[in-house]
Structure 1
Amino acid sequence: MENLEQQNANSEKETEKDELENSAEEATSEEETSVDNEEQAAPPKEEEAEPVEKPENTAEEETPAEDSETVDEAEETGEPESEAAPDSEADEVTEEDEAEAEVAEEESEETAEDAESFYAEIVERAKELVVQTDWAFVTTELANLAQNVTEGPKSTSEKASQLIDEFQELRDNFEQKKKEHYEELNRKKEENLAKKKELLKSLSDIINEENWTATKEVGKIKGQWENIKLLPQGEAEALDKRFKELMDEFEDHKVDRLVKKLQKEEENLELKLLLLDKMDALTQKLNENTPDFEELEDQFNKLISQWRKVGRVPSEKNQPLWDRFNAVQDTFNEVRFKVDKEYREQIERALSKKKKLVKEAEALVDQENIAKAARKVNKLHKAWKNAGNLPQKDENEMWDLFKAATDKFNEMKSDNIDKLREQEEANLEKKYELIKEAEEAKDTDDFDAGHQKMQSLMSRWKKIGPVPRKQSSKIWKKFKGAMDVFYDRRREAFKGERKDQKENLEKKQEILEKLKELGKHDDPALAVQEAKKLQQDFKDIGYVPIKMKNKIWKQYREACDVIYDRYRALGSDLGMEKKLANQGIDPDTRKDIIKLQKERDKLKKDVSKLESEMIQYQEAKTYFKPTNRGNALKDELQEKIDKAENSIAEKEERLKEINKEIDQLKRTGDSDEEE
């Protein structure tokens, strides 16, 4: 359609241009014809006379009869026209012609002005249209204006021609802009089509992976889908249909998942209530005659741990359940506090520490040095964690007091941030002074006095408060750098009192070679034992030449790292490896034994876990009433108990086999070693 419109537009343009050119040619032709007629009508001249300009239509007017007769007489007599007619008559004809020419010229000028006004109005209207974006309307209006130009008044005026060209340029520019608009629109449609296909793929992947919990992600996809409007013609219906099918499938499965979730929440509620009943029962066992409070507390804490591991419950039951859970803990702690003297003393100590920390935190707001107080807040928090635990109720109360005090200080610190910055800057200046002193002392040859000076500087450094965070690391490096220079010089000066440095270097290189060999040893555990002896020898040797110090130390660390990395790679096998090595069992057999021991340990843990689950299932059965639902739950628990018993029997049988295999390997390993 657009191509057809463009072709029509181009055709109209060419037609209009041809008509304009034809009009100009016709006007030119009429002028040339008029001039020729005037030249033919002019009489022969004997003397030169000024030519008279005549209007274009003079050739078409009839010559007066008197003039015609005068010409005829002149031709017959052979006399010139000037002699055939009186001078007065010739003068009268010339004045009339000039008047008529002036009238024709005025009419021509009026016609040109009318044409220019006509085309100027068209151009102004075109300018108003081309800035609009109603493409169809503007296209139609411009076509109408083009038709008006084609049918408009003919004029040879240069201004009229310029106006026509200006109109045509406006129309051409509009057509180009319209073309670019529709090209951009089509590009956007294709881009939207690609986006929708990508969203469709993402939704399809979620369905194929059966990720029915991806509600948030699907909601996001749906929102993006609805925001994409423009699409290529004929694409929207099929895409929307497929999208709806996938959304319906997801919603159906989401409902199923929610039903299962609600069922699971009901089961979790029953299990949590069961655990709370057990916690109540343990609380009732607490009295002055309780033989072992620690054991009872362990049982209570295990129930708490199990309770926390159970998943979600129905939302309307959640808060009442938590209230009961907290109440049970408070009751247990209160009863134990009354009947257990040791526990009471432990709680009182922790409470006393935390009260003291609260007072210290409350006093922070009164300190002038905000920078020092800010550093102390971190220390108080660390001390709080190490002060010991309190019953939950008391813990919450004390924590609220402590947090309120630190929050109050932090507010005060924020209000006085400028003052804090000033104090940090002052501390920074003090530390720069210490750096200056350290720089001056680092080159002293009095190493005893220098050592005392450096220790004093370090003590003063620690007492100065914090500095701006961005400067902290920078100034510490400068300060420590000065100290390192001093102590490196000090160590260098003391080397003369030890063995010859070159000899020490050779000895250390010999040890390095031995350490490198141990890094390839078949028995990492044995290699570590040998390496420890060599490490001690290495340290005892003393200093080496200063130029070799870093290099020899680097080689030493690398050699040791290889040995210990191989040893650490054994992980939890280290103890087993060492024990078996001490028994004289060869490395290959040790590996087989360790592998079996790992399997045995895992089986033991599995058996212990299954036995614990069986006990819980058996106890849980006693809490269900003999109702239809209760009996169903009992049957379900019994199935789990039977399954656990069968699994335990299988694992215990495998444990027996493993023990036999380990014994056999140990005997084989011992005999091989003896041989």
Structure 2
Amino acid sequence: MSDINNLPKAEGEEEVNKKETISNNVSEEQKLVESNETQPAEESPEVALEAATNIEESDAPKNSDINKDDEVLNEIEDSNAEDAEDEGNKDRHRIEVKAYDTMSLEALAIELEKLVKNEKVQAIKSHVDSINSEFKEKFQALLDEKKEEFLNDGGNEIDFYYASPVQKRYKEAYHEYRKKLNEHYQNLEQNLKQNLADKLEIIEELKGLINVEENINTTYKHFKELQERWRNTGPIPRDKYNNAWNSYHHHVEMFYDFLHLNRDLRDLDFKHNLEKKLLIIERAEELAQDDNVMRAFRELQELHKMWKEELGPVDKEHRDDIWEKFKAATKIINDKRQLYYQEIDKVYEKNLETKLEIIASIEAVNAQEVKTHSAWQKKIKEVEALRELFFNTGKVPIKVNESTWSKFKETVRIFNRKKNAFYKELKKDQYTNLQKKLDLIKIAEDNKDNDDFEVTTSLMKKIQSDWKKIGHVPRRDSDKIWKRFKAACNHYFDKLHATRNAANKETLEAFNKKAALLETLKDFKPSEDKAKDIESIKEYINNWKDLGRVPNDKRYIEGKFNKAIDEILTSLKMSKNEIEMIKFENKLDSIVSDDHKDLDNERYFIRKKIDEVKSQINQLENNLQFFTNVEDDNPVVKEVKNNIKAHKENLKLWKSKLSKIKELY
């Protein structure tokens, strides 16, 4: 690319000069003109700034050009606006984002110290926020563990206190960060206001250019100087960025309109801008081929910033075309970035599987009965290794991060409770009873909004039964925990009853539709085409299934339907095995839609029948060996052989049924 040095380069390359002034070698014979156009009404900078959102812009990426659903353009605009408020923010792109979730408390404190010491404070906000979140979460888990040990040793909750050297070190680093950040923004605020005032002053001078009666070349030179001043003016408040730029660009456009009588100057600028924007497009298209998608996207942000801030408009005949090309290259880069994020999501999902396996391993330890000191020491080491593995495993999807962490903490907490209970004899039986009831409350509160009613109802009834079996708790806690438990249970059963009332209406409607379908089935008449009749029957079965469940007290209609299907199948000229398989497939559909456990039971039943039939065949074949020197037409021998044949046919049918079940798995 001939002029690629005028574009920003990839990460690690030297910063290039992106500014270029137009040649002032205008022909001396060029005709000087003065503007005779009507002077625009005078307006204040604040009015110009507020009106800018309604101004028609050029080919820059403006609100009217961007589809509301095009989130990537909005993201680039927001990021550039953030950088425009504080120039140090762009450094945040080069600072490595480490796997903070895998770091220990000490490693997090060290990392925070390094960032605060070596980096611009305004560039590390997102990094510090992530570190702070991880540190608080992990330290709270440690604090909870220490507190529980303190209470189990007989301590009073009000007396609990725990101090850690690593916490002190972290707090000092975080305090230094907050101090530097506050100082930075105090200094920045005044600069932002002054820079905004300077830019508004430039806008006012731009407005005045079309009223100046002087040599057009002199006016044009003044115009270019104003553009250079605009570029060199420092950051302004983020919320004023777009409006200020729009207002500036509007008055640049007005100046170009003022130059319409002197096309040489305007066309030369248009040509310059077009050349530079074509180079930007070319660079964006090159970036679309870059395998480092995040580096390409960061440079793309810079290209958008150049497009908007460094360059002016082009001739109208090119504006839409070049913007569409630039936007197309932008879309390719963003699509690749989305694929990159999808791959990261796969890694996160794999990490989630690993963490859930770790939690399940700890739960398995919790489920074991450990009764000796040596056994407990082994389990403590085992759980500690699992905890370390959990922390060293990478991130999980953000939507399940909190729930996964909570589940892990709860599982470890359960282990610690069992461990502490083993090493310390509880002073009072009532404390044991209190803890049991608190566990039941936890289950009740955790499941009170669970929508899996079939499983949760049994669970809630069980914990209510368990509650009654547990003995007395300290009087001071009795009413309080009973109210909590009762409130959680009542909340769940109120929700259950409301849901069932709504479901009853749907199931009754399904019953009425099934009753109507059953009536049409009674009128079914077999045709001469058996295959067609079988398809019709299967269609009846599928339609029946699609109608859904009926009320429990009207489940008898299912039996009527099955009986009607059996009668029709019997009337067709089909083998016994064919009829049995069609009926079995219908049964499987019902099982699969109702409960997966029933499907497991059916598979177990069929395997048992296969074993029984095989055993019967072996027994009959052994019996034949006792018939020596007996003719084959002997009635007893014939009966045994017929039985063997019938059993083998039956075995074939059972195996077909088992194969059909395996397909469903």
| TM-based fold match above 0.5 | no
With the length of structure 1 as denominator, give the TM-score of the two structures: 0.19
Relative contact order higher in (CA < 8 Å, ≥ 6 apart): 2
- The structure with the greater share of residues assigned to helix is 1
